[in-house]
Every structure is written in C-alpha cells, then in structure tokens.
Structure 1
C-alpha cells in the first residue's frame, strides 16, 4: 500500500450530516502507535508459535543486507527486539524501536523514516513479495466500528515457499502524533510452526514496533469476522473471529483519530506464479461496513480501488465492488 501522499484522496459521505476534513496522518517509515492490550484466547496450536527468521529463508531468496536474525512479518523484516507476541492483558511498552526494518525488496527504513533502496538477488527476481491490491478510503467522518466477513479459501494448487495475507485495516493518529495501524488478518504461510495452515492473527504497529496476538488455526470454508471497534475514550480493539468455532484473537490500541480504512488488502511473499495464490479466485470481503460512533448509523463507502502496478506476474488481478457491500480481489 502507498502512503497518504501517494494515494488519491476520497471522501466517506455521512448518512445524515457533513463533517470537517481531518488533518493528515504523519507516517514514519511504517505506521506507528501506542498500544494497550487485551489478548483474546487462542487455540492450543499457537502455544509454540514463533515467527520465521531471515536465516530460514532460502539463501537465494533473501534480500541482500538484511540481518539473518530479523523476523519475517507480513509487512517486512524486523529486528527481534521490535516484535512482540502478546498473549495476556499486560500493556506492551511504548518505547520507540531503535533498529531499522527492511521491506521485502530489501529497502532499509530507519526509525526516523529515512529510506535507503535495497537489492534483490537475480535468483529472487522471478518471485514477488509485497502488497498486491486493496480498496481504501480516507475518512471524512468519525467512525465507531469497521467490520467485514470473508470465507477461508482452498489452499494454493502450487505450494512452495509462499505466504499469502488477506486483511482489513484501519489507520489513525496515536500518541505523540504517531500514525496508527490495526490489522485483522487471515494468512497462509509455508513457515513455522504450522506450514500450510490457514491462521488468524491481529497486528498492532507502534513506534516502529510490531505487536501481534494469535495465531488461531482455521479451516477451509470457515466464515471469519474481522472488526475494528472503538471501545471507550481513545481505546480501540481489533479482532478476528471464526464464526464456526467462536475462537478469536484480539488486541487493543490507543487511537485519537481514525483516518483511513482498508476494506480488503492482499499481500504476498515469495510468489512466482498464479497457481501459488489460493484456489478459487476471487477472494471476497463481504458485509464491509463502517458505522457512526453510535454504532447504529451506517455510512456509504465510496472506495478507492487500488489494483496492482508494475507486477510481472501474469495473473488476472483486479479490484471491484459487488453486492452485499463486498470488495472483490481477483488474481
């Protein structure tokens, strides 16, 4: 996804009244914000969960210059000191990460936001890693809740080393005027500890750090509900729930002003052909809804559709809207 300065702005039209524009988000490298935590119960499969390290990526696929102990996340490579799995009610610390992180293309992003292009080995050029497509909306009005449903798809026909991530997200302004991102995510990873499993995870990005809860393993055909909801004051929650089992993961975060929502996002890592996406394109986010602070009035959502740009994979990518307030991601 691009930053606010790169994207075309769009307006969320209120049902009953008009609001003033909010001030722009200040982004530093990646989204940053302060969290306060309540992690929901996860299943037993997550007890031994560890994120994959760069050292566990095939040497020919590693971007040059990324430290081998860095952790692989849906949004790049991060120092172990800047990634924390949260399983209890303890609020994670808010100290800013002092280590750079790296994008999938090897670009280094310093804690102050300074950006340095990276290098990809020739052997990795046939693989794509990064964001593919999304539908997003710059908010004009305050919201109290944002939610969507989706169905866990079939596994890819061609299974190699790839990871695929589907999510809904919200960005806002947190303490110290830092940008805030909350992400409710479904992922398919050929990683650890459950390679080839579909899993739910929620992510919080804060001051250059990543906090996450989960994962919860889910099955093909399960209906998932992702929601991002204002609780009280400046406290927001982000959750992912399996409607079949009732299992869920969640976190809370401090957000002063929510400013952008993503009704559907597709990211990947190490994909080299179209059969490495989940079978059964397209992927549909349905019942994508945003509510006013009273949690009753619903807004109309004129999405900005952001299809892929400069991706060499010969897939039938595309973003569209459909019935049942849906966002459709094709590949």
Structure 2
C-alpha cells in the first residue's frame, strides 16, 4: 500500500473523533427538511420510504454507522468500545428508483444499476481478471461540482464503487442526499460512504457537508489484519468511514466515477452548472499484488424517452492521465 494511502488512512483515524459531533449537526451543516421539496417519487412508493441512490428503503432498513463502529453482519454492529449493538433484520421490501418496482425481502437484483436509476445514469466500469485477484486498494479523487441553478429537491449523485457479488461499497457526493428520517433530505452537497444491500439492509456512514469546489477523496481498502473493507471518504478536513465485512470474497468490479439522478425535469437548470466532473484514479491494486491492466469502459443506462431530455450525457476515458470525465 502506498505511503500516500497510509497517510490518508492515519489522518482519517485522527479525524474520526469529530464525526460523532457531526452526527448531532455541526454549524453550517445542510439542514434536514421534512419533505422532498417537490421531488416526485414513483407511484406506489410509500411516503415514509427514504430515497437513496440504490432505490427507496423503509427507514428500519437503513443503518447509520457511527465513528469507530464496524459492521459485523448478521444483525450486529461493533461499537467503538468493543460492545455489540444489534439491529432488527429488514422485513420491508424496497423499491427501485426509476420504475418503483417492488423488490421483496430476500429477492435478488442481478444488477442493481440496471433498474434503480432515472434519466441518464452512467459510469466508468472495470471488471478485474479473477485470476489476478480482487480489489485490495482503490482510490479516486474528484471535486464537488457547481450547484444547480434551480433546486426543486432533485437527487444527484456522483460516486465511485467496488462491487462484490450483490454488495455495493460506494462513496457518494450527493445533492439533496437523504437521511434515515422518513424521506427528509440533507439539502445541498454531502459526501458519505455506503454499503448495500446485505439481507435488504443499506448502511451509511455519517455524511460530511460540502460546498461546490471541495475536493473529495474516496478509498476502498481491504484490511488484512481485520479481514474487512474500509470504505472511507475524506473531504473538507473531515472523514467518514464504513468498516464492512469481507463477505468471504474480494470485490472484482470497480466503478471509476459514476452519476445517478432522480427528479430532474430540466437538464439545463437542475443539473450542476459546471457541466462535468473529473474522477482521477489514485491507485488500484489487487490482493494478489499483480498489476491491473484492464481499462475502464463507458457504461450507460438510459431510458430512451427520458434520455432525449438530457442529450449531452457522456463519459470520456483517458488512460494516459487516468482521468474519467462525466459530462452532461
């Protein structure tokens, strides 16, 4: 693991003590509102369900993981002092972000990204050669884009991810990202790590409030000592981390920058004014120590009728500079 990665993780450890205070609502943090500010949801999705990039979840199926905590699986989370807190198994269905299709508890979604998104969704995708091992260290950096000129409660998410079977370890920079309080939103930009969807439960680290222009660095790192993945975001002098189980395997797919949106009716005014986001690859290493020779490739998921409203969506892959550009 590189010196830069190690320094960042050490820095994150010193910063995590501040995250508990952030959970209580630091000065200047985006305020939570009681509604989605006019943003529409598919018919049939219950009003108390929470909108996320992976679809709509019942509040009981969303777990916020605090500073120093570690997801153990099986309904258990280890607290910072080593004691165990338990959470009830998710017993409510979830609903896909675009169609509102219901996914029953225990039902598998082969490729969540194929159905959850609305308008144009896109990502820079890479499958790793299984013979070379899975993801050990994956790091990317990007900047928060300019605010949309019009805010009607639309949801925008710029993200990176590592995929393990049907487990998605994701770091998101979200506009109007939701919290777990029955559909309320964190207004403005926030960054947070996510894990979806072990037994129907989605996990989220404490969100970091951001401003346009802030630099965001995401790390997804396998920790040999604890045999788990650390999903870590550092931004604006703060950090948030999810310590998530290994699930007996290594991630074998990475998304080197992606976009998901919902509730957009006007592509000019309701998308970020900067019109593009550059995702810079810092490091991608496998647990076998073999070099990664695969290249990112563009992946688009568009509903044709909706995509016509936003014709400028595009992914540019530049292997020489290791920059993937999401433009719109």
Give the TM-score normalised by structure 1.
0.73
Structure 1 CA distance for aligned equivalents of residues 119 and 95 of structure 2: 12
Q: How far did 1:294 drift?
A: 6.9
Structure 2 CA distance for aligned equivalents of residues 298 and 214 of structure 1: 33
Q: Judging changes above 3 Å, is the alpha-carbon distance between structure 1 residues 130 and 208 closer, same or farther for their aligned structure 2 residues?
A: farther
| Secondary structure, counterpart of 1:81 in structure 2 | helix
Q: Judging changes above 3 Å, is the alpha-carbon distance between structure 1 residues 93 and 69 closer, same or farther for their aligned structure 2 residues?
A: farther
Q: Does 1:328 align with 2:325?
A: yes
| Secondary structure, counterpart of 1:271 in structure 2 | coil
Q: Equivalent of 1:100, from 93, 103, 127?
A: 93
Question: Are the counterparts in 2 of residues 78 and 100 from structure 1 also a CA contact under 8 Å?
Answer: yes
Q: CA RMSD in A?
A: 3.0
Q: Equivalent of 2:207, from 215, 224, 243?
A: 215
- What does residue 176 of structure 1 align with? none
Question: Are the counterparts in 2 of residues 188 and 199 from structure 1 also a CA contact under 8 Å?
Answer: yes
1:191-270 to structure 2, matched below 5 A, reads: 196-205=187-196, 206-232=198-224, 234-242=227-235, 244-245=236-237, 247-255=238-246, 256-270=249-263
Gaps of 5+ in 1: 1-38, 116-127, 174-178
Structure 2 CA distance for aligned equivalents of residues 50 and 151 of structure 1: 18
Gaps of 5+ in 2: 1-14, 76-88, 110-116
Q: How far did 1:301 drift?
A: 3.5
Structure 2 CA distance for aligned equivalents of residues 106 and 91 of structure 1: 28
1:310-329 to structure 2, matched below 5 A, reads: 310=304, 311-322=307-318, 323-329=320-326
Q: Does 1:172 align with 2:164?
A: yes
Give the TM-score normalised by structure 2.
0.73
Structure 2 CA distance for aligned equivalents of residues 190 and 224 of structure 1: 16
Structure 1 CA distance for aligned equivalents of residues 217 and 138 of structure 2: 11
Question: Which structure: greater helix fraction?
Answer: 2
Q: Does 1:61 align with 2:40?
A: yes
Q: Does 1:182 align with 2:182?
A: no
1:69-108 to structure 2, matched below 5 A, reads: 69-88=48-67, 89=69, 91=71, 93-95=73-75, 96-104=89-97, 105-108=99-102
Structure 1 CA distance for aligned equivalents of residues 256 and 39 of structure 2: 35
